[in-house]
A and B are shown apart, each in its own frame.
Chain A
Amino acid sequence: MNETPNTNKADPRRRGLAGAKMSRAFKYILLGVALLAAIAPVYWMVTISLKTEVDQFASPPRWFHFAPTLEHYYDAFFTRSFAKYLTTSLTVAGLSTICAVTLGTLAAYGLARFKLRGKLDQRLSLWILSTRMFPPIVTAVPLFLMMRDLRLLNTIGSLVIVYTALNLPFVVWMMRGFFRELPRELEEAAMVDGDSRLGALFRVILPLVTPGLAATAVFCLIVSWNEFLLALVMTQTDASMTLPVGIAGRVTQYEIKWGVMSAAGVVAMFPILAFAMAVQRYLVRGLSLGAVKG
């Protein structure tokens, strides 16, 4: 009877150590599984893009041993129009991200800092958010008709406008949250010090929300880059087609060009990856810690 409580006393400590080891091992296993799930399709795509058509359909699949070839890349970017699709995609995604982030940030600042009569600022914010509450396909037909009347079908302009509109609510809500976290006194101090409100925004507030701005821009870029449905509706010509539409176009009645699609897919990954890596250091929060209070 005496020993039981003793072992009970010693046990939790040992269990604690072992438990910590167990839970760490479990964490790594979980991470490994998640990593595998994320990487496997990418690996599959990359290898397919490098395989000859014979190797692509080999059964059982040739995971590692195959004769690599760049023929699909050559096919996609030199004989077909994928190089054109790529520049279109880059232009559209880049321009629409710049537009959405610029307009959205200014709107968000206004909504975060100014109180309007009858809680209009809050109602306005909610209304902006509500434009994202229905599936995008609902807007496809009206947008198509509008763009047709504006004679913007099959132009890069139509996609820039549509993607800007698509991303705006997101930018407004994200940036509004970041602005609200900053103490009002910061821009008040800047204005007392002799700066205009816009000057305070650019010199004091924006440098402090750079991490938020970077995260928001990455998200906008990803959405615009990957968007398929509206691009399919708005553009039919080779000159105005984006990568996702171009890639999907290789699925035809007679054959599916797996090699070309994969090669284009691999290339399509890189711009986003590069941008995300470039802004990675801004994605780290905490610059504004210690701004106020003693």
Chain B
Amino acid sequence: MNVRFKEVSKRFGDSVVVDQLDLVADDGEFVVLLGPSGCGKTTTLRMLAGLEDATSGNIFIGEDRVNDVPTQKRDIAMVFQNYALYPHMTISENIAYPLKVRKIERGEIDRRVNRVAELLEIGALLKRRPRELSGGERQRVALARAIIREPRVYLMDEPLSNLDAKLRVQMRGELKRLQHELGTTTIYVTHDQAEAMTLAHRVAVMRAGKLQQFDAPMTIYNRPANRFVAEFVGSPSMNFIEGRVDHSARKFASDAFTLDLDESHLARLSGCDRITLGIRPEHIEVSTTEHPDTLAAIVHVTELMGNETIVFLRTGGQKIIARASAEFRAEFESRVFVKFETDRMDFFDPDSGLRV
């Protein structure tokens, strides 16, 4: 079942939390709403759940406009950030709740509870109560309660954020697998760009209530629509260097350094004067020996990650972050040389932030 937001806005008093949102999640699609806290992503999800009313605009699940449909009639399932398990019920009663309120017959309930419990490997916990469970187990129970029915849409509000790092990565994989097998449209809210990249078919990046970009993860990463998306997605973050285009000298000139531009850059940048250059850390080569077309830089600090080394540099007044191989070593304040992969450079309008 697809989900559509048509010019949906939400205001709390004077503050606009969601601003004219247009978004379509296709049937069976895994859509992640990504953004910093306060960007309106959770409010968007809650409007879809019917826990908040949209101030204006239309929300559709399939062909039905659901704005005026109460939560319990929307045929959805939701996993909450804090799981919201019913503390006075056993795990089995928790999972069975959506069936019980629909007055499904006892034997059928038991069969289905056992089936999802098996699927999520929580069969041994069925007689316990939520307070006796670990965070990871509670998370599974919350998932089980969501998938025991076959709702039209799954809604997930940061379901992994209360887990420790290792468990989060594990559950992330299982969640992706589960969604693939169930094939149910899923709207997932997170502020963690790694979750968004790994889980989503498409990522909707939001900021201050506005949709910034809605695309496949690799498109978001490689062709960010604006500076905000470029900065928010990717770790360490993209480097941004303010400067000017010198069309006659065919150069990009910042306070710190100048770079030669090729024909394709100049074509893109025709008519531009001031410009922000963006380049991801992995597209900057660092070496201790000087080559043609390299810039001299000073090492501020290096972070050994095991599989790679993150190098924090400065050249002129400009700070730059680069990714180097795991073997790369350099002393504090030592002089190194960097080379930008010019075909991977992005340019942004310094005023609007839009990609050029």
Residues of A within 8 A of B (CB): 183, 185-186, 188-196, 199, 203-204, 207-208, 287-294
Contact = CB atoms under 8 A, between A and B. Distances in A.
Interface stretch (B81-89, B218-226, B277-285): B81-89
A293 B82 CA distance: 5
Contacts of A191: 50-51, 70-72
Contact of A287 (B49, B87, B97, B135): B87
Contacts of B80: 185, 188-189
B134 A294 contact: yes
B98 interface: yes
6 contacts: A183-B84, A189-B80, A194-B102, A294-B135, A294-B162, A294-B163
B76 interface: yes
A195 B51 CA distance: 13
B243 interface: no
A217 to B, nearest CB: 19
Contacts of A186: 84, 86
A190 B80 CA distance: 11
How many chain B residues sit at the interface, stated as a range, is 35 or more
Contacts of A192: 49, 51, 71-72, 76-78, 155
B101 interface: yes
Given A196-B72, A199-B101, A290-B131, A204 B138 contact: no
A287 B86 CA distance: 11
A140 to B, nearest CB: 43
B209 interface: no
B109 to A, nearest CB: 13
Given A193-B145, A290-B131, A208 B87 contact: yes
A207 B132 CA distance: 18
Contacts of B86: 186, 189-190, 204, 291
Interface string B130-163: 1110111011000001000100000100000011
A135 B38 CA distance: 48
A183 B84 CA distance: 8
A280 B85 CA distance: 26
A240 to B, nearest CB: 42
Interface in B97-150: 97-98, 101-102, 129-132, 134-136, 138-139, 145, 149
B97 A183 contact: no
A28 B129 CA distance: 38
Nearest to A208: B88
Contacts of A194: 72, 98, 101-102, 149
B101 A294 contact: no
Nearest to A288: B87
A210 to B, nearest CB: 9
A203 B84 CA distance: 14
Contacts of A203: 101
B139 A294 contact: yes
Nearest to A187: B84
B169 to A, nearest CB: 15
Contacts of B88: 204, 207-208, 287-288
Contacts of B102: 194
Given A188-B80, A189-B80, A192-B49, A291 B85 contact: yes
B87 A290 contact: yes
Chain B CB count within 10 A is highest, among A183, A190, A199, for A190
Nearest to A291: B87
Contacts of A289: 87, 131
A183 B87 contact: no
Contact of A193 (B50, B97, B135, B139): B97
A185 B83 CA distance: 8
Nearest to A196: B72
A195 B87 contact: no
A293 B72 contact: no
A289 B129 CA distance: 11
B134 to A, nearest CB: 7
Nearest to A204: B86
A204 B145 CA distance: 15
